[in-house]
Amino acid sequence: SAPLTILGIESSCDDTAAAVVRGVAGSAEVLTNIVYDQTTAHAAFGGVVPEIAARAHAEKVDVAVQQALISSDVALRDIDAIAVTAGPGLIGGVLSGVMCAKGLSAATGLPLIGVNHLAGHALTPQLTDGIAFPYLMLLVSGGHCQFLLVHDAETYTRLGGTIDDAPGEAFDKTARILGLPQPGGPAVEAAAAQGDPTAFPLPRPLMNRDDCNMSFSGLKTAVLRARDAVMAEHGGLPEAIRSDLCASFQGAICDVLTAKSRRALKAARALAPDLSTFAVAGGVAANTQIRTALSGLCAELETDFLAPPLKLCTDNAAMIAYAGLLRFTAGMTDDLTLSARPRWPL
Ligand code: KG4
Ligand code: ZN
């Protein structure tokens, strides 16, 4: 079939993104991938503020689309369809993207395709590396933590996930508790490199339960308690002890993710015996200790390990364009009744 050119728009969390992807199912190329991140807008609040996010998306989404078209040297008339994240996410942000896409679709007559943000993440291994279905994906970021068995573009089995915080959120909260800067992941990782992971025996909630669910909120509370105990004893938080706490925290997250990945691979294999790849995506996949542990697990279990380039496995619109390309190829389009959904399980 002839290659398709798809414009993608993403605005479900704290990144305003637009991208152009060209190709066919199983073999597509990212022409441009524009991301405006709102980190500085939220920095003073210690987390994403929905109202601020919504305004920032509304201000930037049209600019992002224009940038994506200009820098890919693609005119609107060369686009075959417009794909947009229609959920799940912060509703004000999702609405900004959906309204922008509807406006473009109404003005140009181009087909409109509503995409599930999680499907975008889940299909990324096929966009970046042409990985064939089925494969197992661990999505692990500030907002997500789940194991998805991807049978095809429309069929997913959620094998398990966090029952409370996502690991990225735990990294960010731990950084805040320990007086480290945001985003917490890289700061905690850097400190952990100087610390002793056995210094603090932190809990590994649900780790030995025979399923693929996880829990990380108790871990953050344990870090808070350990910090308070250190402060009471030392009248402050000595840097060396802070590093030990970071290393112990990171070790706990890593142990849980690795143990649960082992279970998830087993469960996935039982459902899809021809599964050959375990892919990890999301900001937390940038963590060297976690990445190394997961790739070691895959080597042990004779499974291919894939961690797509970070720019395509954190929030972006190229993954939305590609998911849209697959839906369009399958004849699934939407019209102006497309609604923005705060919740939308796969
Ligand atoms: O995928 P992402 O950019 O955004 C969403 O959450 O949707 O992930 C961001 C999260 C943040 O919580 C950040 O602290 C975490 O990923 N992160 C890391 C590292 N780099 C980013 N966590 C652990 N280690 C890292 N090196
Ligand atoms: Zn995401």
- Tell me what the mean pLDDT of segment 74-93 comes to: 96
Question: Given pLDDT bands bounded at 50, 70 and 90, which one contains residue 1?
Answer: confident
Residue 230 lies in a domain: yes
Do 191 and 231 fall into the same domain? Answer: yes
- The total number of structural domains in the chain stands at 2
CA-closest residue to ligand 1 atom 22: 185
Residues 336, 37 contacting (CB under 8 angstroms): no
Do 161 and 76 fall into the same domain? Answer: no
Question: Was 161 annotated as part of a binding site?
Answer: no
CA-closest residue to ligand 1 atom 16: 283
Do 148 and 100 fall into the same domain? Answer: no
Is the shortest distance between the CB of 50 and ligand 1 below 6 Å? no
Do 76 and 216 fall into the same domain? Answer: no
What confidence score (pLDDT) does residue 183 get? 87
Do 65 and 195 fall into the same domain? Answer: no
Helices (H), 137-285: 167-177, 184-192, 217-234, 239-271
Is the shortest distance between the CB of 143 and ligand 1 below 6 Å? yes
Tell me how far the alpha carbon of residue 139 lies from the centroid of ligand 1, in angstroms. Answer: 11
Residue 344 lies in a domain: no
- Tell me what the mean pLDDT of segment 145-155 comes to: 97
Question: Which domain, by its residues, includes 73?
Answer: 4-130+315-329
Do 146 and 222 fall into the same domain? Answer: yes
Kindly report, residue by residue over 235-281, the tens digit of the pLDDT: 999 999 999 999 999 999 999 999 999 999 999 999 999 999 999 99
Residue 247 lies in a domain: yes
Residue 166 lies in a domain: yes
What confidence score (pLDDT) does residue 43 get? 76
Do 174 and 297 fall into the same domain? Answer: yes
Q: From the CA of 257, which ligand is nearest?
A: 1
Q: What percent of the chain has pLDDT over 90?
A: 92
Do 115 and 187 fall into the same domain? Answer: no
Tokens linked to 324: 């849209």
Residue 136 lies in a domain: no
Tell me how far the alpha carbon of residue 316 lies from the centroid of ligand 2, in angstroms. Answer: 8
Q: Taking ligand 2, which is a single-atom ion, which protein residues have CB atoms under 5 Å away?
A: 315
Question: Was 144 annotated as part of a binding site?
Answer: no
Do 303 and 154 fall into the same domain? Answer: yes
pTM over 0.90: yes
Q: Buried b / exposed e across 215-225, counting CB within 10 Å, b at 16+?
A: bbebbbebbee
Helix axis angle, 184-192 to 239-271, nearest 10°: 110
Q: What percent of the chain has pLDDT over 70?
A: 100
Do 82 and 102 fall into the same domain? Answer: yes
Please tell me the number of Cα atoms within 13 Å of 26 on its side-chain side. Answer: 5
Tell me how far the alpha carbon of residue 2 lies from the centroid of ligand 2, in angstroms. Answer: 30
Is the shortest distance between the CB of 93 and ligand 1 below 6 Å? no
Is the shortest distance between the CB of 312 and ligand 1 below 6 Å? no
Domain of 320, CATH number, reads 3.30.420.40
Q: Buried b / exposed e across 187-211, counting CB within 10 Å, b at 16+?
A: bbbebbeebebebbebebbbbeeee
Residue 269 lies in a domain: yes
Residue 182 lies in a domain: yes
ipTM of predicted complex: 0.98
Report the number of secondary-structure helices (H) and strands (E) in the chain.
11, 10
Kindly report, residue by residue over 87-106, the tens digit of the pLDDT: 999 999 999 999 999 999 99
Helix then strand then coil, in percent of the chain rounded to 5, is: 50, 20, 30
Question: Was 80 annotated as part of a binding site?
Answer: no
Do 152 and 106 fall into the same domain? Answer: no
Do 108 and 56 fall into the same domain? Answer: yes
Is the shortest distance between the CB of 282 and ligand 1 below 6 Å? yes
Ligand 1 mutation target, pool 11, 141, 219, most atoms within 8 A of CB: 141
β-strands 277-281, 304-306 pairing: parallel
